[in-house]
Amino acid sequence: MEALLEGLNDAQRAPVLQKDGAMMVIAGAGSGKTRVLTMRIAYLMQQGVDAFNILALTFTNKAAREMKNRIGTIVGNSEAKNLWMGTFHSVFAKILRIEGHHLGFPPNFTIYDSQDSQRLISAIIKEMGLDKDIYKYKQVHSRISSFKNSLITVKAYFQNPELQEADAMSKKPRMGEIYKEYVDRCFKAGAMDFDDLLLRTNELLARFPEVLAKYQKRFQYILVDEYQDTNHSQYLIVKALADRFQNICVVGDDSQSIYAFRGANINNILNFQRDYDDVKVYRLEQNYRSTKNIVEAANSVIEHNKTKLDKVVWTANDEGPKIIVHRSLTDGEEGRYVASSIFENKMNNQLKHSDFAILYRTNAQSRAMEDALRKREIPYRIFGGLSFYQRKEIKDVLAYLRLLVNPNDEEAIKRVINYPARGIGATTIDRLVIAAKQYGRSIFEVMENIQHLDIKINSSTKNKLYNFVNMIRSFQITAENADAFVVAEEVARKTGLLQELKKDGTPEGIARIENIEELLNGMRDFVEGQKEIADATGSLSEFLEDVALATDMDKDIDDVDRVSLMTIHLAKGLEFPYVYIVGLEEDLFPSGMSMNTRSELEEERRLFYVALTRAEKQAYLTYTESRYRWGKLIDAEPSRFIEEIDEKFLDIQTPLDTYRYKPMIDSDIFGEPDKSKLRLKKPVGGTPPTVGKPTEEQLQKLRKLRPQSTPSIRTDDLNDNLSKGMRVEHSRFGQGEVLSIEGIGQDQKAEIRFQTGGIKKLLLRFAKLKIL
């Protein structure tokens, strides 16, 4: 036991040693909350508490596994295995398998994922003869989900005129009927959706006192990590189970509550003291994770939130390097900066790839990062999602693009022939496949001649197929003269893909649109980059070749040491020596959709606090001056969160510190600065302390973030100096050696062998080169 306590400071020891009673550990990031929880469990077991009597709820299953392993090393693995430990969903699914029969569910009930649920809801909407443009199945699903998380059952819905009125107002008076039908159908199918796992647990505990008593008795000690992000349904389960022994320990940080949009209720932490007798509140103040610079910078940002519990966080760790703030010209360059910075840090400090994490606000941002990492051959892993080119909507667009470059691509045809829906069913597709075999032709060729062939397809469907062929042909004509970006934009719009997603209107739908937008941005960037390469045109085929190589890397099996990429929401609880927080721009982070009220803005700020406090040794904050939105360069402003950090913790860099080159983008972003941008924008929803008339100090800092003008390096200086055998560095391709130079003036080209990307012939007029 001595050994167990050795790794804890006095403040941490106290909640570990208090065996019984209700307690809450409220403390800032990195102060050892999770460690306290882990050690408390080990300690209870050493005190003779049976592992079967301990319930520990974590935020992710990964966290539970890690905690179990840790406990296993102290008390022995075979004992640790008996702990009830996992996420709310996984633990209560287990209990429902044992007890679900009380509610009429079989032990082997199916768990519907959101796709299953949405499919069922959409079938119900159709059967009820409702307009699917008004009753959008994803919106209906998220409405039903929010009912369930607030414990509004079908019965409760019909007893609540306000809810019914709200649905009637939003033109969905039959919402209640859909809800009822959906619940009935799930029940008949012996299925529970994700929300049911919590709702049905609540129902079970409320309706069957003997079941409640059984689990109250079993779970003599209950522990909850990340308590600040529990929703109402989870809160009630914990409260019911802990009621008998009141041996409950919750740990959390109100400043890291970031799931309000999914129903998390910060009041659960604020009201804890009211819910139990004699609650002991512990505070931890010492951060063991991060350097002084990081801890203090994070403190200085979260200070701007009005709604928070007072907390002190300090560290005895080294001061560490300042937080690097890096400004790029575009998001493509932001990606390349991050990739080369990781590459250099790894080389210079003998690190592993797993020492690095790249965090972003929205999933779509992974594209620029992934592209840059691939070019540098840096292995990476996307957490909690697919890598960019594996996402459904991206594959859909790429399938169209592949199809118009190669109409014989059968997989591509099958993927998009009826997406968006054009009334071409599975039977028709089967018949096309058979006909193609019979005639020894490709499916596309069969479709091209469909009007003249004797195939069992009715004439209206034949017309649809013919229209599809014509659409693809018209794209091909565009592709003859236009670059990849122009073609792809036309495809996204004219196929109806975008309209389809816009109709959807759910957060997932919006994320999909963002991804397509991001694909187009990447193509625009690609086309620009190809201008540097002699003989390249930026055509669609060149782009697809580039992507084919990129997607191939996705197939890598695991166990490889990789850089971690994830949204900030997923990074909660984790830590990495080096953390890059990218896309720190107004409207992106804070998100443009979350700046309308103070509480939304404060949640964004907490998100930033979470992001920054993941870093152990060094944090990087990057932003770009301009981002492509639908292929147009839009001016971006540095995020207010950068401005909120005390400047003494920052090392503010400019792109010219990294690369000496002539910027190739439209001259307008280098022109006279927009004076309004030099003023701190007044955030919506009130005035935090730093806002108002900016001080001279703030203005100076802003000028640094956004300099008056970016001096451009004349390329002809570079050309004159450049000669065979020289070592150069290119922002996109990395380091290389000049093999030869040819041509004069505007046409001068250099042949360069790059360490990663083979030999390339670059037009010096455009090339972004630095002489090493």
Q: How far is the CB of 383 from ligand ATP (least distance, A)?
A: 16
Torsional class of 578: left (φ above 0), alpha (ψ -120 to 50), beta (otherwise): beta
29 is in an annotated binding site: yes
Q: How far is the CB of 249 from Mg ion (least distance, A)?
A: 13
Long-range contacts of range 207-211, CB-CB < 8 Å, 24 or more positions apart?
207/102, 207/103, 208/99, 208/102, 211/99, 211/102
Site for ligand ATP in 255-284 (CB under 6 A): 256
Select 7 or 758, whichever has its Cβ closest to ligand ATP.
7
Residue 501 touches which of ligand ATP, Mg ion, none (Cβ within 5-8 Å per kind):
none
Select 289 or 464, whichever has its Cβ closest to Mg ion.
289
Looking at 99, 167, 226, 396, which residue is catalytic? 226
Instruction: Compute the distance between CA of residue 84 and CA of residue 72 in angstroms, rounded to an integer.
Output: 14
Instruction: Compute the distance between CA of residue 79 and CA of residue 297 in angstroms, rounded to an integer.
Output: 42
Select 12 or 328, whichever has its Cβ closest to ligand ATP.
12
Residue 305 touches which of ligand ATP, Mg ion, none (Cβ within 5-8 Å per kind):
none
Select 342 or 615, whichever has its Cβ closest to Mg ion.
615
35, 353, 361, 732: residue in contact with ligand ATP (rule CB under 6 A): 35
202 binds ligand ATP (CB under 6 A): no
Q: How far is the CB of 252 from Mg ion (least distance, A)?
A: 9
31 binds ligand ATP (CB under 6 A): yes
Q: Which stretch binds ligand ATP (CB under 6 A): 8-16, 210-218, 452-460, 681-689?
A: 8-16
What value, to the nearest 5°, has the Cα angle with vertex 743 and ends 742 and 747?
Answer: 120
Instruction: Compute the distance between CA of residue 366 and CA of residue 382 in angstroms, rounded to an integer.
Output: 8
Compute CA distances 224 → 61, 237, 253, whole Å: 13, 12, 12
Contact call for residues 241 and 205 (beta carbons, < 8 A): yes
Select 34 or 613, whichever has its Cβ closest to Mg ion.
34
335 is in an annotated binding site: no
Select 157 or 288, whichever has its Cβ closest to ligand ATP.
288
Select 70 or 185, whichever has its Cβ closest to Mg ion.
70
Select 27 or 652, whichever has its Cβ closest to ligand ATP.
27
Contact call for residues 293 and 613 (beta carbons, < 8 A): no
Q: How far is the CB of 34 from Mg ion (least distance, A)?
A: 3
Q: Is 498 exposed, middle or buried (0-12, 13-18, 19+ CB in 10 A)?
A: buried
174 assigned to active site: no
CA atoms within 13 A on the CB side of 46: 19
33 is in an annotated binding site: yes
502 assigned to active site: no
Q: Which stretch binds ligand ATP (CB under 6 A): 2-10, 80-88, 199-207, 541-549?
A: 2-10
Site for ligand ATP in 59-118 (CB under 6 A): none
Contact call for residues 457 and 428 (beta carbons, < 8 A): yes
Nearest to 639 by CA among 695, 706, 689: 706
167, 195, 196, 253: residue in contact with ligand ATP (rule CB under 6 A): 253
Nearest to 738 by CA among 756, 707, 762: 762
Looking at 12, 13, 34, 637, which residue is catalytic? 34
308 binds ligand ATP (CB under 6 A): no
Select 34 or 234, whichever has its Cβ closest to ligand ATP.
34
Residue 492 touches which of ligand ATP, Mg ion, none (Cβ within 5-8 Å per kind):
none
33 assigned to active site: yes
Q: Which stretch binds ligand ATP (CB under 6 A): 33-41, 166-174, 688-696, 710-718?
A: 33-41
226 assigned to active site: yes
Residue 30 touches which of ligand ATP, Mg ion, none (Cβ within 5-8 Å per kind):
ligand ATP
Looking at 181, 225, 334, 602, which residue is catalytic? 225
- What residue ranges bind Mg ion (CB under 5 A)? 33-34, 573
736 binds ligand ATP (CB under 6 A): no
573, 638, 663, 736: residue in contact with ligand ATP (rule CB under 6 A): 573
Residue 257 touches which of ligand ATP, Mg ion, none (Cβ within 5-8 Å per kind):
none
32 binds ligand ATP (CB under 6 A): yes
Nearest to 395 by CA among 414, 423, 421, 371: 414
Query: How many residues lie near ligand ATP (CB under 6 A)?
Result: 19
Nearest to 544 by CA among 606, 479, 499, 593: 479
Site for ligand ATP in 596-615 (CB under 6 A): 613
767 binds ligand ATP (CB under 6 A): no
Question: Across 528-592, where does the E strand assignment appear?
Answer: 563-567, 576-581
Residue 29 touches which of ligand ATP, Mg ion, none (Cβ within 5-8 Å per kind):
ligand ATP
Question: Rg of the chain's alpha carbons, rounded to an integer?
Answer: 29
12, 234, 330, 715: residue in contact with ligand ATP (rule CB under 6 A): 12
564 binds ligand ATP (CB under 6 A): no
Select 30 or 663, whichever has its Cβ closest to ligand ATP.
30
CA atoms within 13 A on the CB side of 448: 10
Q: How far is the CB of 611 from Mg ion (least distance, A)?
A: 15
What DSSP line would sit under 166-207, residue for residue?
HHHHTT-TTHHHHHHHHHHHHHHTTEEEHHHHHHHHHHHHHH
27 is in an annotated binding site: yes
Beta bridge partners of 192: 111
15 binds ligand ATP (CB under 6 A): no
289, 322, 415, 768: residue in contact with ligand ATP (rule CB under 6 A): 289
Instruction: Compute the distance between CA of residue 268 and CA of residue 480 in angstroms, rounded to an integer.
Output: 61
Query: Which residues does 491 contact at the CB level (< 8 Å), separation at least 6?
Result: 397, 400, 401, 404, 475, 497
Q: Which stretch binds ligand ATP (CB under 6 A): 1-9, 15-23, 301-309, 750-758?
A: 1-9
Residue 193 touches which of ligand ATP, Mg ion, none (Cβ within 5-8 Å per kind):
none
What DSSP line would sit under 537-551, residue for residue?
---HHHHHHHHHHHH
Residue 31 touches which of ligand ATP, Mg ion, none (Cβ within 5-8 Å per kind):
ligand ATP
464 binds ligand ATP (CB under 6 A): no
Q: How far is the CB of 258 from Mg ion (least distance, A)?
A: 13
Instruction: Compute the distance between CA of residue 433 and CA of residue 311 in angstroms, rounded to an integer.
Output: 67
Strands 758-763 and 749-754: antiparallel
Beta bridge partners of 727: 737
Q: Is 367 exposed, middle or buried (0-12, 13-18, 19+ CB in 10 A)?
A: buried
239 is in an annotated binding site: no
Question: Across 459-545, where does the E strand assignment appear?
Answer: none
**Nearest residue to Mg ion on Cβ basis:** 34
Torsional class of 153: left (φ above 0), alpha (ψ -120 to 50), beta (otherwise): beta
Nearest to 370 by CA among 324, 326, 330, 338: 338
Instruction: Compute the distance between CA of residue 635 and CA of residue 676 in angstroms, rounded to an integer.
Output: 13
Q: How far is the CB of 58 from ligand ATP (least distance, A)?
A: 11
288 binds ligand ATP (CB under 6 A): yes
Residue with tokens 């200086």: 717
Q: How far is the CB of 140 from ligand ATP (least distance, A)?
A: 35
Residue 648, classed as helix, strand or coil, is helix
Nearest to 663 by CA among 330, 327, 324, 339: 330
Select 227 or 235, whichever has its Cβ closest to Mg ion.
227
> What residues line the site for ligand ATP (CB under 6 A)?
7-9, 12, 27, 29-35, 253, 256, 288-289, 573, 575, 613
Q: Which residues are annotated as a binding site for ATP?
A: 27-34
Residues tagged active-site: 33-34, 225-226, 256, 614
